[in-house]
Structure 1
Amino acid sequence: MTSHFRSILTVATTALSLLVVGSAVAAPRTDLVLGMSIEPSGLDPTAAAPVAIGQVVWQNLFEGLVTIDKDGNIEPELAENWDISTDGLTYTFDLRDNVTFQNGKPFNAQTAKYTLDRILAEDSVNPQKSLYKSIESVKALDTDTLVLTLSKPSADLLYWLGFPAAVMIEPSSETTNATDPVGTGPFKFSEWKKGNQVTLVENTNYWGKAPKLEQVVFRFIGDPQAQAAALISGGIDAIPEFTAPELVSQFEKNNAFETVIGTTGMEVIAGMNNARKPFNDVRVRQALMMATDRQAIIDATNAGLGTPIGSHFSPSDAGYEDLTTALPYDPAKAKQLLAEAGYPNGFTFTMKVPNRTYAERASEIMQAYFSMIGVTMKIETSEFPAKWVQDVFKDTNYDMTIIGHAEPLDIGIYARDPYYFNYDNPDFNKAMVDVSNATTEQERVSGYQHAQKILAQDVPALFLYARPKIGIWKQGLNGMWRNGPVPSNDVTDVFWNE
């Protein structure tokens, strides 16, 4: 064998070896099967209220002028930038060029105007229509410029424009979006097997950064035990909101999975009827707060998973402050406050409890803690939603109740009149006006921090905990959201390890 031939053979053998080794390294997966507890009733978040709709399509298929990121911050999306007038009444948006909907039709200022006019129309069925009522007019100055004129300042308008309810739609798809949605996002609709799953596939004509995934299947599994079994068997790769805290430990001990405990925008509170004695006395409200061990309630209702809160604000929201030390657990101080308020021997009242497991468990714990300061709490179970909504929410015929408030950034409910707390605090109302009048993001966030501090001291409700976001997924999956400032399953940045 000549040296020349040996050289050729060596090169060929080396090349073949590299080819074999290279082919043995599997390419990363480009598909994902994601589990959800509830199947959506439709796929158009601008026309129906259920949270599950946005959890499938928001950011994945539909996009807005702006978006809310994983940390609760407002970021540009279909609007590249915007300008707000000094009086807070005019918003001018500069829209992105060369954006098309998934049916090939262009996104522009005219379609944006159509979307917003539809939200504001008298016959609108948009679930969050009230959030946008400050918009007086919508004008498309040219293809890329949209102008909103407001009737009064609303610093939260940008935040609300990032909600699922304000995603941009293509006019010709309006009547079919519930079953065959058309958006501008990185994924497009493929198939809906009712009762089982929705499939999205990559939108290869997407205007922005291409997703790493080519297909995402949202599989609907209501039973927590079945969710756990599907994870273990490989039937699903991830469940971003696992509904059984008591089953989490088995996954924490399993190296095949990553368990991530974050927070959601749901604040669980014990609302009080501030118009009734003795709850019209701030000292009584403070005493009940200081008689309550928040962590004990979390332990009893969520297997220790959840974040204690000291005001009606979630840790997943930008501007959150931990105010649990404002009125910490202190039974001795609680008894002192009751005596100062004229109740040295306590009092008796009734809590109307919706028949939801978390509420029923929490009420029993609170009943025990209140008894330690001489307060007797009777528990009356209320059928939810029908009976509870009528008695508590509509008629305000109650002393105390307990419920989870799931709407993002809803601290402003304490300034509503009427509302079921029957709470009226001019200082808090002014704080919310200041938030509305803010012309910078820093002013807006500072305003919310001030509002939180007022509620932490005035306690129109007992602030208990932010519901946990329990995420469980296979090792090697990256880009899933830890927290949930907006109820969603945004998979636009999700990928598998190489």
Structure 2
Amino acid sequence: MDRKYLIGAILVIIVIIIGCAVYFGQSHVERADDELVVAAYSHGGEPESGFDPILGWNYYSEPLIQSTLLKMNRNMSYENDLATNYTISDDYKTYTVQIRDDVKFTDNTPLDAEDVAFTYNEAKKTGASLDLSNMNNATAVNPTTVQFDLNKSDSTFLDKLAYIGIVPSDSYNNETYGSNPVGSGPYKFAQWDKGQQVILERNDNYYGDQPEFKKLTILFAQNEAAFNAAKNKEVDVSAVPLAYAKENVDGYNMYLMDTIDVRGISLPTKMNTGEKNPDGGDVGNNVTGDIAIRKALNYGIDRTSLCEGALNGIGYPNYDGIAHQLPWANNATAIEDGDIAKANETLEKAGWVDSDGDGIREKNGTKASFELYYSSDAPERQAIAVSVSEQAKEMGIEVKAIGSNWDEMDGIKNSQAIVWGFGSTDPSTIWSEYHSSQAGIGYNNPSYVNDSVIDQHIDNAFKQSRESSYSEWSNAVWDGSHGISPQGDASWLWIGEIKYGYFVDDSLDISNDTALLQPHGGDIFGNIYDWKRVSSIEK
């Protein structure tokens, strides 16, 4: 090639490279003061089935697009949303709810009791959002009254009235609704760019308090991508893992929000005898099936150290899976953990000894070695798994931390240890986690807890008013002689409660003093009605 043409080509390439660098480096997103861009993967993430409450969209959080019958406030009590009043029968088997008569969906069709009944009956069929197995059916008594008939006493059914967004019965199609949802919430669906974002527009016909912001873009960025979105001024709010919570980002404040979200490790309580769960998966583990292993881990693991390290100093030790802010928390489950001497004594008394000097105990030819799985896209779970693995070595127990995904873990959840997250204002989660009838059903009771005394406490709780039932829910985890806590069956190794970290642009006030206690999965938009732009966005 002629030299002058070669030089010319090189100059063209350089210009293109510089142009691309300028273009792609210009990452600041232009937006108006009444627009919000939020990286809120913690708020449910990108739903596989779209924005359909019947198929699981944000059933513990503000669904934004749809309305719910009730809403929970900061005091963990319920307020009316679509509902105007409700009554509960003395036996907690019938719930009757009156609803507003002035609500329309965003397609301009009226919302009435038929839509409420339809939504709940369909949600029961799918089982993708809430466990509604206790509900026989929901019936529209008249246009403004819906009745829920249960097959057993359940004082926690009130919680279910706050968790499912209502869909229009006349136009609902389970194959198409999720990608083009119609609702009656504060925002209406505008656009879904799969794998990237969803765009919502303010519903100016919303019956409740109007949010200030006309447009809400929710990015599905998570972890490092969410952190970079804040650094590049691409967002107003960015939810980040705890590993980034102590970072400084120019132009942003870090908000650490209280949660009831607890991290813990399920420890299969049964030996592997060839038993299968309802889905055909293996049940039992010949190491964690020995209570001495489970107790040793519960007494030997130093939760305070894990909260300082794995949870970046923003954790709170937990021993039973119930966050300390909840009214049924049980302080009696707390122990003096990190007691290696007690852990080793427990193991030796049970016959677990290191006879070959390799640092791993064994008993009857079985090594004290098992696998611990965690979700690879959850940094704090990885940190927990790795830290537990390191601490367990001091007890002569080999714990192999393995990153995975929920498709794989679904098949091994009853035979291998797994790092989980739980946290709800609905106390019936204790039933799903620990009642023997729930063992191996979906993600319920993965450790196969089987204790008739625990079951009785839970059964009793359902038959009492929500407030009076708290002591029974508390006793289910430890009543002085039975429970899943370290002093009892030690069927879980609960680690700690976490906080949620959000970088918030200096121009925005998210009214932290009205923010709700965050459940598992997060509810950053729970008080979006109170968010204000206090200064113009830096352009």
TM-score by length of 1: 0.80
- Structure 1 residue identity aligned to 2:122: R
Aligned to 1:414: 434
Tell me the percent identity. Answer: 18
Paired residue for 2:484, among 455, 462, 482? 455
Is the contact made by 1:61 and 1:187 (CA closer than 8 Å) also made in structure 2? yes
Measured after TM superposition, the shift of residue 494 of structure 1 is 2.0
Is the contact made by 2:95 and 2:147 (CA closer than 8 Å) also made in structure 1? yes
Secondary structure class of the residue paired with 2:297:
helix
Measured after TM superposition, the shift of residue 429 of structure 1 is 0.8
Residues 400-428 of structure 1, C-alpha deviations (whole Å, 9 max, x = no match): x1311347453222113433313211221
Is the contact made by 1:199 and 1:216 (CA closer than 8 Å) also made in structure 2? yes
Aligned to 1:24: none
Residues 37-90 of structure 1, C-alpha deviations (whole Å, 9 max, x = no match): 4433344333434xxx42998342212112334565433221122111111111
Aligned to 1:432: 458
Match runs of 1:180-259 below 5 Å:
180-222=180-222, 224-239=223-238, 241-243=239-241, 245-251=242-248, 256-259=251-254
Paired residue for 1:376, among 378, 391, 397? 397
- Structure 2 residue identity aligned to 1:442: E
Aligned equivalents of 1:381 and 1:229: distance in 2?
A: 27
Measured after TM superposition, the shift of residue 242 of structure 1 is 0.9
Secondary structure class of the residue paired with 1:301:
coil
Residues 114-134 of structure 1, C-alpha deviations (whole Å, 9 max, x = no match): 2222223xxx335035x1121
Aligned to 1:389: 410
Secondary structure class of the residue paired with 1:136:
strand
Match runs of 1:159-174 below 5 Å:
159-163=159-163, 166-174=164-172
Aligned equivalents of 2:259 and 2:230: distance in 1?
A: 22
Aligned equivalents of 1:449 and 1:104: distance in 2?
A: 46
Shift in CA distance, 247/161, structure 1 to aligned 2, threshold 3 Å? same
- Structure 2 residue identity aligned to 1:328: D
Shift in CA distance, 431/372, structure 1 to aligned 2, threshold 3 Å? same
Is the contact made by 1:478 and 1:497 (CA closer than 8 Å) also made in structure 2? no
Shift in CA distance, 402/117, structure 1 to aligned 2, threshold 3 Å? closer
RMSD (Å), alpha carbons: 3.0
Is the contact made by 1:469 and 1:483 (CA closer than 8 Å) also made in structure 2? no
Measured after TM superposition, the shift of residue 283 of structure 1 is 5.4
Residues 166-205 of structure 1, C-alpha deviations (whole Å, 9 max, x = no match): 2111123412431222111122222333343222222221
- Structure 2 residue identity aligned to 1:297: L
- Structure 2 residue identity aligned to 1:455: I
Shift in CA distance, 360/227, structure 1 to aligned 2, threshold 3 Å? closer
Aligned to 1:351: 370
TM-score by length of 2: 0.75
Aligned equivalents of 2:382 and 2:186: distance in 1?
A: 42
Is the contact made by 1:56 and 1:218 (CA closer than 8 Å) also made in structure 2? no
Match runs of 1:299-338 below 5 Å:
299-315=308-324, 317=326, 319-322=328-331, 325-338=334-347
- Structure 2 residue identity aligned to 1:468: K
Aligned equivalents of 1:201 and 1:174: distance in 2?
A: 21
Aligned equivalents of 1:497 and 1:382: distance in 2?
A: 42
Measured after TM superposition, the shift of residue 211 of structure 1 is 1.9
Aligned equivalents of 2:214 and 2:327: distance in 1?
A: 32
Is the contact made by 2:184 and 2:206 (CA closer than 8 Å) also made in structure 1? yes
Is the contact made by 2:257 and 2:501 (CA closer than 8 Å) also made in structure 1? yes
- Structure 1 residue identity aligned to 2:200: L
Aligned to 2:177: 177
Is the contact made by 2:34 and 2:212 (CA closer than 8 Å) also made in structure 1? yes
Secondary structure class of the residue paired with 1:492:
helix
Is the contact made by 1:382 and 1:388 (CA closer than 8 Å) also made in structure 2? no
Residues 361-392 of structure 1, C-alpha deviations (whole Å, 9 max, x = no match): 4344323323333x3224274743344332x3
Is the contact made by 1:72 and 1:485 (CA closer than 8 Å) also made in structure 2? no
Secondary structure class of the residue paired with 1:87:
coil
Is the contact made by 1:30 and 1:212 (CA closer than 8 Å) also made in structure 2? yes
Aligned equivalents of 1:57 and 1:381: distance in 2?
A: 30
Shift in CA distance, 489/478, structure 1 to aligned 2, threshold 3 Å? closer
Instruction: Tell me: higher relative CO, structure 1 or 2? Use CA pairs within 8 A at least 6 residues apart.
Output: 1
Paired residue for 2:519, among 465, 485, 488? 485
Measured after TM superposition, the shift of residue 323 of structure 1 is 5.5
Secondary structure class of the residue paired with 2:530:
coil
Secondary structure class of the residue paired with 1:362:
helix
Residues 112-162 of structure 1, C-alpha deviations (whole Å, 9 max, x = no match): 122222223xxx335035x11211132222222211111101222121232
- Structure 1 residue identity aligned to 2:533: W
Aligned to 2:267: 272
Aligned to 1:32: 36
Aligned to 1:44: 51
Secondary structure class of the residue paired with 2:55:
coil
Aligned equivalents of 1:43 and 1:70: distance in 2?
A: 29
Shift in CA distance, 329/267, structure 1 to aligned 2, threshold 3 Å? same
Shift in CA distance, 162/134, structure 1 to aligned 2, threshold 3 Å? same
Shift in CA distance, 316/351, structure 1 to aligned 2, threshold 3 Å? farther
1:497 equivalent to 2:534? Answer yes
Larger deviation, residues 457-466 vs 481-490: 481-490
Larger deviation, residues 106-115 vs 266-275: 266-275
- Structure 1 residue identity aligned to 2:456: K
Measured after TM superposition, the shift of residue 462 of structure 1 is 0.8
Aligned to 2:278: none
List runs of 5+ in structure 1 lacking aligned partners.
Answer: 1-27
- Structure 2 residue identity aligned to 1:402: I
Q: Whose helix proportion is higher, 1 or 2?
A: 1
Measured after TM superposition, the shift of residue 464 of structure 1 is 0.8
Secondary structure class of the residue paired with 1:64:
coil
Is the contact made by 1:308 and 1:324 (CA closer than 8 Å) also made in structure 2? no
Aligned to 1:143: 143
Secondary structure class of the residue paired with 1:178:
helix
Measured after TM superposition, the shift of residue 463 of structure 1 is 0.7
Is the contact made by 1:331 and 1:372 (CA closer than 8 Å) also made in structure 2? yes
Aligned equivalents of 1:482 and 1:231: distance in 2?
A: 23
Aligned equivalents of 1:452 and 1:170: distance in 2?
A: 41
Is the contact made by 1:113 and 1:146 (CA closer than 8 Å) also made in structure 2? yes
Shift in CA distance, 313/56, structure 1 to aligned 2, threshold 3 Å? closer
Shift in CA distance, 435/496, structure 1 to aligned 2, threshold 3 Å? farther
- Structure 1 residue identity aligned to 2:270: A
Measured after TM superposition, the shift of residue 102 of structure 1 is 1.8
Aligned equivalents of 2:503 and 2:352: distance in 1?
A: 48
